[in-house]
Structure 1
């Protein structure tokens, strides 16, 4: 789940939802497996042609060598730079499976499945096996829920302290999605090893869990591992000394820091699959009483590969999910701005924010333009994606590429006074699908000229910056041993 300048954003609100902020909406039965299939043709994109565009070369006249050097520099700073100001990757000892390492959200002083899986994806794309294995080892050792009494058993806890203590006992599907895809790529780049490094087997296990997790009801407190102390959320959620911006904003607004949460009695929680069978969509969370989906979790470029490489019994489902997600991007995009909400119902209707305000474009939403644009680059199956990218880039350009806000109402009213590198980077990936021209080139130029993120907000900004550089620089590819 995405970068939060405060401690309440996106998936963090799952905790409030568990405590009763969301209306109960319990599924009565597990939907039957879909029998609908979507065409699994190879499209007309890079998967078929094996040609990955380097837009820095194609549009800005840079060289492949310059592009690679810039990407490698970003990797070295974010993974091995100064520990106080630059890197987010930290190695922390070893166990029987080898080195352990985590990616931290520096501002909030935790490790998230989102960042761990992003780090693994970056590592496998760039051929960094040590970092990949160390992140996977920490994920399996620390974040994988193994306590039989926890209804999320088999999922990864979405947020953990960097000391390995829990911040949450539930899961966020975007982490599972990137874990699975990174593991499939690792199997094809390096081959399968033993135990937790049998990458194909581990990826298959994650995908099976996403679709076939049993529906289980239990009452908290829960544990991540048998023998752990039960996790009880504190009244004040882990104030981080690194999150200076949030402290300053709270002080200006006259609000307490850290924010106080009202005490609520534990209530039963029902956890099921991470996908909604009837709609062939990934859910916002697997807790059944929390409705809807997150458009930025929709990854049709990945689903196409799972329809080819994943468990055979699920391939038709993922083929259908890819097609459904392409339609969903169109449904959720505002007709004027192209902006989409952080959360939406399965029919595309924006869901209200956790404070009851109308659904808006926020931190999760930054990623959606990147998702459909990568799908366009790899598969090129949906001509509507060009218009979607054009619309978003045109709107943000009208706001000023060097100053647009990082949160908006869907119709384009700023809700923030901050301009964020991560949002700029994701918007630049839109140039993979956008109409070539001045506007799309301006985004590429702005990304090229932007330095590697540093300081307290370097986690989400930095991960999106590096992956976006890889996407538009032609170094984020389908890794397939059959198509080297």
Structure 2
């Protein structure tokens, strides 16, 4: 089994495997970023005052830690410190919790004026904040607070696993007994799409020294969790799952839905960066085969993880195509390059629901181009 880019410094470029030139790839990345951040009609990034900005969830008209941390990761990947700092300052000013049981966490949703819609955090925001901040520290160096990026990142991770010691009544975001990330700190179940073993491998090198063993164990545990939560035949993961991997009914009857699409993308990036678990490749092979053999491109539904469709269209069909394509970084099946080709030909989503689809679209574009890089 070949080693990942963390070891080799060589990032796989699947577009190049299709014969697409470096110039074409570079142009598409630039145009996609400019549309999402600056196009008057299609952008999801908005500036506030002289030094802040936010990523708008266009379907819900709010700013979320998911989107804010995604925007920061995008900005650090394309070397836009100005945008990164605006997003981070907004997050620290309006989302950061300074007291109470959530002290040290970030409120998962605020209005575009910065008023908290909820006090509680969403752990996928914290893990992306921390990784983006570590990368920023490496690319640009630490500045004065709150732009002392690595200090901020380590503080976030400290709270993620030691919250019960740091805030009265607080709950950690990771379960201490199994090393699984929780859906929210107070819940004894998970969200498979939150599991980012490739991030935890790096946290094991960059976090507080006493916590590094925990993060290494979390990386191994998350790969195991993906194996037990994804269906053996379809490769589908549920949006929410118990710690034993069985689907958890929370907000709706269907299981393979919006959050769950990210699992294929995450497996792909883990393979590109570390490639430590080839048993995960089969998950993507099965997922790609299910969609290629049972549905027309883009005509997707909500499903059980067994692939049984509901009479409910997928809210984010562009995201399904993008993430299944990014899964090709791990896939070995016969549909591997067809998904990459279909994604290359796919335009950004337009309209009210463009936020989630296009965030995943841009990440997948970077991954497949070999341009989603580790900065250490």
Q: Secondary structure at the match of 1:281?
A: coil
Aligned to 2:33: 75
Pairwise CA distance, 1:383: 1.1
Pairwise CA distance, 1:472: 0.6
> Is the 8 Å Cα contact of residues 389 and 434 (structure 1) preserved in structure 2?
yes
> Is the 8 Å Cα contact of residues 69 and 129 (structure 2) preserved in structure 1?
yes
> Is the 8 Å Cα contact of residues 373 and 385 (structure 1) preserved in structure 2?
no
Aligned to 1:332: 229
> Is the 8 Å Cα contact of residues 268 and 329 (structure 2) preserved in structure 1?
yes
> Is the 8 Å Cα contact of residues 102 and 167 (structure 2) preserved in structure 1?
no
- 1:365-404 aligned within 5 A: 365-404=260-299
- 1:68-217 aligned within 5 A: 68-82=26-40, 85-94=41-50, 99-146=51-98, 148=99, 150-214=100-164
Aligned to 1:13: none
Between stretches 419-428 and 390-399, larger displacement belongs to 419-428
4+ residue runs over 3 A deviation: 215-218
* Paired residues, number: 373
Q: Secondary structure at the match of 1:165?
A: coil
> Is the 8 Å Cα contact of residues 76 and 136 (structure 2) preserved in structure 1?
yes
Distance 2:180 2:159 in 1: 15
Q: Summarize deviations over 1:127-150 as a string: whole Å, max 9, x none.
A: 01111010000000010011x3x3
Seen in structure 2, the aligned counterparts of structure 1 residues 131 and 54 have a Cα distance that, compared at 3 Å, is same
Pairwise CA distance, 1:403: 2.8
Pairwise CA distance, 1:210: 0.3
> Is the 8 Å Cα contact of residues 401 and 443 (structure 1) preserved in structure 2?
no
Q: Secondary structure at the match of 2:47?
A: strand
Distance 1:431 1:321 in 2: 24
Q: Secondary structure at the match of 2:375?
A: coil
Query: Given the two structures, how large is their TM-score scaled by the length of structure 1?
Result: 0.75
Larger Cα-atom Rg: 1
> Is the 8 Å Cα contact of residues 396 and 404 (structure 1) preserved in structure 2?
no
* Residue 182 (structure 2) pairs with residue 283 (structure 1): yes
2:247 pairs with 329, 337, 350, which one? 350
Pairwise CA distance, 1:217: 9.3
Pairwise CA distance, 1:216: 8.9
Structure 1 gaps, min length 5: 1-42, 219-269
* Residue 3 (structure 2) pairs with residue 47 (structure 1): no
Distance 1:68 1:406 in 2: 33
Structure 2 gaps, min length 5: none
Pairwise CA distance, 1:401: 5.0
> Is the 8 Å Cα contact of residues 59 and 352 (structure 2) preserved in structure 1?
yes
> Is the 8 Å Cα contact of residues 242 and 248 (structure 2) preserved in structure 1?
yes
> Is the 8 Å Cα contact of residues 210 and 273 (structure 1) preserved in structure 2?
yes
> Is the 8 Å Cα contact of residues 322 and 361 (structure 2) preserved in structure 1?
yes
Distance 1:134 1:217 in 2: 28
Distance 2:343 2:274 in 1: 24
Q: Secondary structure at the match of 2:30?
A: helix
**Aligned Cα root-mean-square deviation (Å):** 1.6
Kindly indicate whether structure 1 or structure 2 has the higher relative contact order, using CA contacts under 8 Å at least 6 residues apart.
Answer: 1
Aligned to 1:234: none
Aligned to 1:408: 303
- 1:254-265 aligned within 5 A: none
Distance 1:162 1:215 in 2: 32
* Residue 23 (structure 2) pairs with residue 65 (structure 1): yes
Distance 1:47 1:392 in 2: 26
Pairwise CA distance, 1:387: 0.9
Pairwise CA distance, 1:64: 1.2
Q: Secondary structure at the match of 1:213?
A: helix
> Is the 8 Å Cα contact of residues 353 and 360 (structure 1) preserved in structure 2?
no
Q: Secondary structure at the match of 2:164?
A: coil
Pairwise CA distance, 1:436: 5.6
Distance 1:57 1:401 in 2: 26
Distance 1:392 1:271 in 2: 38
Seen in structure 2, the aligned counterparts of structure 1 residues 217 and 76 have a Cα distance that, compared at 3 Å, is closer
Seen in structure 2, the aligned counterparts of structure 1 residues 352 and 101 have a Cα distance that, compared at 3 Å, is same
Q: Secondary structure at the match of 2:139?
A: helix
